[in-house]
Structure 1
Amino acid sequence: MRTRIKMCGMTRIEDIQCAASLGVDAIGLVFYPPSPRAVSLEQASTLAKACPVLVDKVALFVNPEKSLVKEVIDATGATLLQFHGDETPEFCQQFGMPYLKALRVSDKHRLTTALKEHHEAPAILLDAYVAGTPGGTGQQFDWSLIPKGLMQRLFLAGGINATNVADAISSANPYAVDVSGGIESAKGIKSAQKMTDFVAAVREISS
């Protein structure tokens, strides 16, 4: 099965256009103000208009107010929601949309417990655990901790780039890989060359 590609933390129209031209499956917009990749509603609305119809627009939140999620959906036409905080299953489900629940991996027991709590999530995104940081750290975690039965709904993140994505796919066999820092020249600024190299690496191992 072809591994899907999500490129997150988009802040520029040209980066979205590059991702689309490379055949990326989804782009992510961050609505978490402490993040260097965060965008405002106005910025997000403009960026969303640059996203082709067949590319999913993912809105990323960390413990948001319900009203913010609704405002973002209205402003961007987001097709997928991503929750990176301590959101309950009930909170994630209330919007009537498909969503990713991000879990930060520190050890197998905590991961197993979190997966049981969010067993109804359409998709699970696994990222590295770094104390005090909800995601986007560029740190890799131990892929051997990933349960085998998760693969059909697994989005794999955490320190992935063009040089290690083939190993990540071989090890975890995820439905999709999620990259942000690994395709950047600076935080929030994507590199067209790194994006190209990343897609080529994924296609070579999974096509």
Structure 2
Amino acid sequence: MTKVKICGVRDVETMRLCASLAVDWVGFVFHPASPRYVLPEQARLLHESVSDVLAPSRVGLFVKADDRTIERTLQTVPLNVLQIYDSVERAKEIRSRFGLPVWLARGVKSFSDLPIQADVDGYVIEAPKQAGDDRPGGLGRTFDWTLTRKWKAPAFWMLAGGLTPFNVQEALNASSAPAVDVSSGVERQAGEKSHKLIEQFVEKARIRG
């Protein structure tokens, strides 16, 4: 069954919904430029709003963050995975420094952009950042999913970028991704999740067409 990550969770009701749907991961965005930004203290309250037994794994998203920023966050809220937007070298430093699994986001325009060696624990494969973007993800932009078909992934990976309840089955059939990551595609407006869309997305993602 396809695994699902709901990224950009900001309120208790959505956190509890994700737990009730047995979502695999929830993402907390610690990047101030994002409309889904949360403070570590807010993320802690979300974490504490569901029992440990039901809680999805917690992924912290950081964009070019320094060690102190990550350290302060981890002192406030326990995270299971660090999702990093930075260089491969920096991602490896963070993995060594904090001893947590690291997923590195990779923008893909062509087949040559796909990673060929396991420098980190996992990859978030999405559309590349474009000129004028104020943040690297959460922009609702897709890429050619079929690029991943013949790719021999060196590590765990998930498909992200522009996914919605209405295209996730097509994306899975085109890419054969083992997991999917959604943010803007399940929102009423930027930063405000729709529970109906989350439910639809999870249902569709878990059905292979």
Q: Provide the C-alpha distance between the structure 1 equivalents of 2:170 and 2:10, rounded to a whole number of angstroms.
A: 28
Counterpart residue identity of residue 61, structure 2: L
Is the partner of 1:204 in helix, strand or coil? coil
Residues paired across the two proteins, number: 201
The alignment status of 1:154 with 2:153, answered yes or no, reads: no
Q: Is the 8 A contact 1:51 1:57 kept in 2?
A: no
2:139 — aligned with what?
137
Q: Is the 8 A contact 1:11 1:37 kept in 2?
A: yes
2:202 aligned to 199, 204, 207, which one?
199
Q: Provide the C-alpha distance between the structure 1 equivalents of 2:58 and 2:92, rounded to a whole number of angstroms.
A: 22
Q: Provide the C-alpha distance between the structure 2 equivalents of 1:81 and 1:130, rounded to a whole number of angstroms.
A: 20
Q: Provide the C-alpha distance between the structure 1 equivalents of 2:88 and 2:61, rounded to a whole number of angstroms.
A: 12
Is the partner of 1:205 in helix, strand or coil? coil
* Superposed CA offset, 1:108-158 (max 9, x none): 22x14xx24x62211110111131431111100011222531186111001
Is the partner of 2:36 in helix, strand or coil? coil
Q: Provide the C-alpha distance between the structure 1 equivalents of 2:49 and 2:82, rounded to a whole number of angstroms.
A: 18
Structure 1 gaps, min length 5? none
1:91 — aligned with what?
93
The alignment status of 1:181 with 2:153, answered yes or no, reads: no
Structure 2 gaps, min length 5? none
Q: Provide the C-alpha distance between the structure 2 equivalents of 1:4 and 1:151, rounded to a whole number of angstroms.
A: 18
Counterpart residue identity of residue 125, structure 1: V
The alignment status of 1:72 with 2:73, answered yes or no, reads: yes
1:18 — aligned with what?
17
- C-alpha change, 1:174 and 1:92, in structure 2 (3 Å) is farther
Offset at residue 52 of structure 1 (A)? 4.0
Q: Provide the C-alpha distance between the structure 1 equivalents of 2:59 and 2:12, rounded to a whole number of angstroms.
A: 15
CA RMSD of aligned residues (A): 1.8
| Structure 1 residue ranges, 4+ long, deviating more than 6 angstroms after superposition | none
2:166 — aligned with what?
163
TM-score for the superposition, normalised by structure 2: 0.89
Q: Provide the C-alpha distance between the structure 1 equivalents of 2:26 and 2:200, rounded to a whole number of angstroms.
A: 17
Is the partner of 1:91 in helix, strand or coil? helix
1:33 — aligned with what?
32
Q: Is the 8 A contact 2:8 2:191 kept in 1?
A: yes
Identity %: 31
Q: Provide the C-alpha distance between the structure 1 equivalents of 2:175 and 2:155, rounded to a whole number of angstroms.
A: 11
Deviates more, 1:34-43 or 1:49-58: 49-58
* Superposed CA offset, 1:19-69 (max 9, x none): 111111110000110111111122111112124424100000000010111
